[in-house]
Structure 1
Amino acid sequence: MKNLLIFMGLLVTCSCSKWLDEEPKAVSEVTFYNTEQEAAAAVLAPLNKFRSGFAMSFPGLMESFADYQYGRGSWASNSDYKGLDPQNVSRSDGIWSSLYNAIRDCNIAISRLPEGSDLTEEQKSAFIAELRFIRGFAYFTLVQLWSEVPLRTEMNMDEWDLPKSSLDELYAFIVADLEFAALHCPQTERLIGTPSRYAAQGLLAQVYMQLKNYQGGHDLLKSIIDSKRYALVPVNTVRDFEKIFGPDVVNTTEEVFYLKSTHTAGWQFVMFCSHPNAVIDGKKMHGAGGWYGLYTRTGNTLFDEWDNADLRKGYNTLFLDLGLGFDTYLPTKFYDPLAPSSDNASNSNPIIRYPDLLLLYAESINELHDGPTQEAMDVLNRVRRRGYGYAPDQPASIDYVLADYGSKAQFLELIIKEQAYETWNEGKRWLFLRRLGIAAEKVMDAKGLTIEEKHYLFPIPAAEFNYNAALDAGRDQNPGY
């Protein structure tokens, strides 16, 4: 490969525009990774790969599957839970491609960075740690969506024909990548949008919780919380949530790891959620219109039971008649009235927020103690208070009381409910329900629908079977496809 096309937008200060503003530049492979600037570009390259299939199709599919939401148009069949039709298989193929393209970029840079002539060993380790965070994130997503997949690393990147690796092998690799990242990533983000040590610890905690290593998850989460590095952004009104999710936000005290956007390198998912006639605070939901591919509705029990006094409900949903025969509501967490085209909303994609980690920490305590403690309840109430506009760290009238929810099952139900309201339309609900093994139960409760077994995993793309001779479609394809 003679040249690597690298997105070279580097953030100078937090007050400047977000990262990724400049044009792609060609960097010779012969000289690449020798300087700090070239190494920095190597980190931006795989992050840029998430802008293709992953950035749009991943949240679109995840939200179509969520118990509280429905897909519309060509996305509607996803909410039937019968597996992906051909059009949505194409979308899942795009997620696969963008994740493996990011992995390829990471592998190349990880293999070449040790040769960098102008970098110190400490700098090399830090850049490699950032890349291993990105690679770990990509593989963790692949495993959750496809289960066993080929494991492509810097050691075998010249080999095309690779069989599936076992889940044990894949998770061992993911954990090793994230453990290295948790030790060697910069303590503070090198640029807004690149991973820090805390982001690596947070993602590793999620992996530990997936593996039911509750002690490992708990210890990492407690360390992050005790560091005081993050804090919930206070709100007093519905519109105050714009300080967290709005198109003009650069970063906040609760941003752990986000995929950043600008009007020149934007997030198409915002257009997907918007409607041409939707108006928020007197402004268009999206400057270029909208495709309104998602909605919720009356009759969905999770939505119907959501307290109207919860400010998150007013911020996350907007009544708009879609002509479907029942009251319908758009998801409005992300909107950009100044977006110049369908591709270019400047809202950031919140992959890991501080509330995610607080909820996960409360869950880890519940698991380790076989029931909640006062600390776990206090952490959960911090998230709930902010949702109602109260100070997160001060007792409030809407607090849950430990004596009322003292069993493990009762407390977990509170976490499940608060997770829905806090992460509404962030693409996190489906995998959360699957991790807990309750997706079928919650979809039946909220929608009255049954999930077919094949719906839980995506099909491996046909192109992978066409070009990877170590895979056989009859033997290696996921069930139902």
Structure 2
Amino acid sequence: MKINKIYFFGGLLLVLLSWGCTDFLKEENPSEVTTDFLYHTKDGLESAVVGLYNIDRAMADDDESKDFSVIMGDCGTDIDFMRAALNQAVSRYRPDLNFASQTTVRNWWKKEYMIIERANSIITFGSATDIPDKDKKKILREAYIHRANSYFWLVRKFDNIWLNLEPTTAGNFENREFKVASQEDVYKVIISDLDSAISYFDGDWTVRAGQYGLGTALFLRTDVALWRQDYQTAATLAEKLITEGPYKLADPSAIFTRDGRDNTSESIFVMQFDEFATGGADVGTTGPSGHRLPLVFTPYYSLIPGMVMASDFGGYGWGRVHPNEYLLNLYNPSTDKRWDSWWQHYYIFNNKAFDFSSVTYQLGDTAKYGEGSQLTGTNFFKNAEVGCKKYFDWVKLPNATRSFNNLYIYRFSEVYLMAAEANWRLGNETKALHFINELRKSRISAADPNRELTSFDLETLVEEQARELAFEGRRWFFLKRIGELVDRVREHGGLTMFKGIIATDPAWYSARTNIKEFHVRWPIPQEEIDAMKGFPQNEGY
């Protein structure tokens, strides 16, 4: 299915989803695409599945990608420096802001439940629809993965959630009982959905870019096993992905490619964007509008006199999220290939039209902090901090404010970390070292005598996870799972100093003192509590 078809049907479904629930359930639907078509025909069900991807992608391509960046930027963890603009109640755990009323919290909750509600309908009606069994399994397996993925996200982020597997109908819309489900029950559904999806693939690894395939189902099932402390299952499935799957580790320079549109040998699930699906970047709600991730993770270096925007430095930047010194100190700059492949460490004066006669630096010099350099403690962190090349868009014009780079959601290298952890927790340090060293050998040059580790402990795992997966939206969940979130944020959260430059705003490291034990879960959005009438708020909020 071509990506323009994905956007077409996705836009159509979002129109359907924008109606009130009672309007949506009327027999006379104002659209030619009726619910009867969507849920009782092969073409309709396939289109409904496509719509789930569009709901997912909509979080990334909102106006400023704020809500998506909070997650992908690992905000509120031990490796991020959130300078400005993103939701501070979430990123810095500010006690003076009403966490439960923050739009980021509400939007993620609503997005996941929107996917669940659509998936419930696809699974319920699709299971009963008279279509060829082969086609039915293809439809259901993707819907199962979507529902499992959304419930998995919700239960990890909120702990206390509502569990529902029924589609919304005229008969049950007004009589829903909203109560907290046990985590045991939620995980039973997640595991059942993923196991069903895996069985429906029947060993077929074939998948289109941007589509949930067998690899995604196995990846999620492995992650779920780690959360449930079922380490034998996690080890078995991770090793299956490594030995039987079509994936392989790539050189760091070849993963986040310069054109940003490619899928690589590490792509398990990558969110797809297509600038030309419906005519370009200015199509608004009728089609794809791209996302702002490159701007979030690129400093505003062009504000420095003598510089202009350049693709090699990330193009247009807002300078909102950067790595902190703790994260950067985990790399060996001389031997770790990730250091230069994934992080932009310098910015060169490149404005040929600028009059350099009045300053102490020249065209081609590297911007440095200090007297006469135009970089002070006040503006350095906005204009010249380290940028994240994982989101650089070398294809767009340097001054473009939207990107159509594809976004990694689940990447193969994490499977090696999963395999290493699972085997370590099972007491098999030899196998744990094998998997983490296989990853390190693909990332670190042979000149480093410490490339291959000889012992494995929790710190080994914590540090390698940060080096490998920083700013891919995995850190908060990982630290929560291993019981280290609060302590690690208190020790390293935010940024106090970088290369001897003292942070000028105490808010930049305020998460260290703001975070409390209850912050290991988000609050239930207040708007949802009001609507559900009686659903309890999470403790501490």
Say yes or no: TM over 0.5: yes
Q: Secondary structure at the match of 1:218?
A: helix
> Which 10-residue stretch deviates more, 71-80 or 126-135?
71-80
2:449 aligned with 1:437: no
> CA distance change for structure 1 residues 307 and 19 in 2, over 3 Å: closer, same or farther?
farther
2:371 aligned with 1:359: no
Instruction: State the shift of 1:398 in Å.
Output: 4.2
> CA distance change for structure 1 residues 342 and 461 in 2, over 3 Å: closer, same or farther?
farther
Correspondent of 1:314 among 311, 315, 340: 340
1:14 aligned partner: none
2:162 aligned with 1:150: yes
Correspondent of 2:125 among 86, 93, 112: 112
Q: Secondary structure at the match of 1:99?
A: helix
2:295 aligned partner: 271
User: RCO greater where, 1 or 2, for CA within 8 Å and sep 6 or more?
Assistant: 2
> Which 10-residue stretch deviates more, 139-148 or 273-282?
273-282
1:3 aligned partner: none
> CA distance change for structure 1 residues 31 and 199 in 2, over 3 Å: closer, same or farther?
same
> CA distance change for structure 1 residues 277 and 205 in 2, over 3 Å: closer, same or farther?
same
Instruction: State the shift of 1:275 in Å.
Output: 3.7
> CA distance change for structure 1 residues 178 and 342 in 2, over 3 Å: closer, same or farther?
farther
Q: Do 2:299 and 2:386's aligned partners in 1 also have CA atoms closer than 8 Å?
A: no
- 1:84 and 1:380 map into 2 onto residues whose CA distance is 42
Instruction: State the shift of 1:286 in Å.
Output: 5.6
Q: Do 1:271 and 1:343's aligned partners in 2 also have CA atoms closer than 8 Å?
A: yes
2:429 aligned with 1:372: yes
1:295 aligned partner: 322
Q: Deviations over 1:209-249 (max 9, x none)?
A: 001010111111111112042101135xxxx24x4354433
1:283 aligned partner: 311
Q: Secondary structure at the match of 1:41?
A: helix
Correspondent of 1:132 among 144, 147, 164: 144
Q: Which stretches in structure 1 are left out of the alignment for 5+ residues? A: 1-9, 12-16
2:248 aligned with 1:231: yes
2:197 aligned with 1:173: no
Q: Secondary structure at the match of 1:307?
A: coil
> CA distance change for structure 1 residues 155 and 228 in 2, over 3 Å: closer, same or farther?
closer
- 1:58 and 1:453 map into 2 onto residues whose CA distance is 24
> Which 10-residue stretch deviates more, 422-431 or 343-352?
343-352
Matching of residues 6-405 of structure 1 within 5 Å: 10-11=1-2, 20-22=6-8, 24-25=11-12, 27-53=33-59, 56=65, 57-61=67-71, 63-75=74-86, 76=88, 78-82=90-94, 85-86=97-98, 89-117=102-130, 119-154=131-166, 158-159=172-173, 160-185=176-201, 187-235=204-252, 240-241=253-254, 243-263=255-275, 264=280, 265=288, 266-277=290-301, 282-283=310-311, 289-297=316-324, 300-309=325-334, 310-319=336-345, 323=378, 328-339=385-396, 344-369=402-427, 372-373=429-430, 375-388=431-444, 397-402=449-454, 405=455
Count of residues paired in the alignment: 442
- 1:148 and 1:358 map into 2 onto residues whose CA distance is 30
> Which 10-residue stretch deviates more, 261-270 or 345-354?
261-270
Instruction: State the shift of 1:174 in Å.
Output: 0.9
Q: Compute the TM-score of the two structures, normalised by the length of structure 1.
A: 0.82
Instruction: State the shift of 1:167 in Å.
Output: 1.0
Amino acid across the alignment from 2:421: E
Instruction: State the shift of 1:454 in Å.
Output: 3.1
- 1:18 and 1:314 map into 2 onto residues whose CA distance is 35
> CA distance change for structure 1 residues 170 and 350 in 2, over 3 Å: closer, same or farther?
same
Q: Do 2:256 and 2:390's aligned partners in 1 also have CA atoms closer than 8 Å?
A: no
Q: Do 1:316 and 1:424's aligned partners in 2 also have CA atoms closer than 8 Å?
A: no
Instruction: State the shift of 1:337 in Å.
Output: 4.0
- 1:429 and 1:412 map into 2 onto residues whose CA distance is 15
- 2:133 and 2:89 map into 1 onto residues whose CA distance is 51
Q: Deviations over 1:66-105 (max 9, x none)?
A: 2111212233554434469348821111111111111111
> Which 10-residue stretch deviates more, 445-454 or 136-145?
445-454
> CA distance change for structure 1 residues 192 and 169 in 2, over 3 Å: closer, same or farther?
same
Q: Do 2:486 and 2:520's aligned partners in 1 also have CA atoms closer than 8 Å?
A: no
> CA distance change for structure 1 residues 32 and 95 in 2, over 3 Å: closer, same or farther?
same
- 1:19 and 1:274 map into 2 onto residues whose CA distance is 32
Q: Do 1:274 and 1:292's aligned partners in 2 also have CA atoms closer than 8 Å?
A: yes
Q: Secondary structure at the match of 1:244?
A: coil
- 1:271 and 1:324 map into 2 onto residues whose CA distance is 17
- 2:528 and 2:93 map into 1 onto residues whose CA distance is 25
Instruction: State the shift of 1:335 in Å.
Output: 1.5
- 1:389 and 1:228 map into 2 onto residues whose CA distance is 26
> CA distance change for structure 1 residues 153 and 268 in 2, over 3 Å: closer, same or farther?
farther
- 1:51 and 1:139 map into 2 onto residues whose CA distance is 17
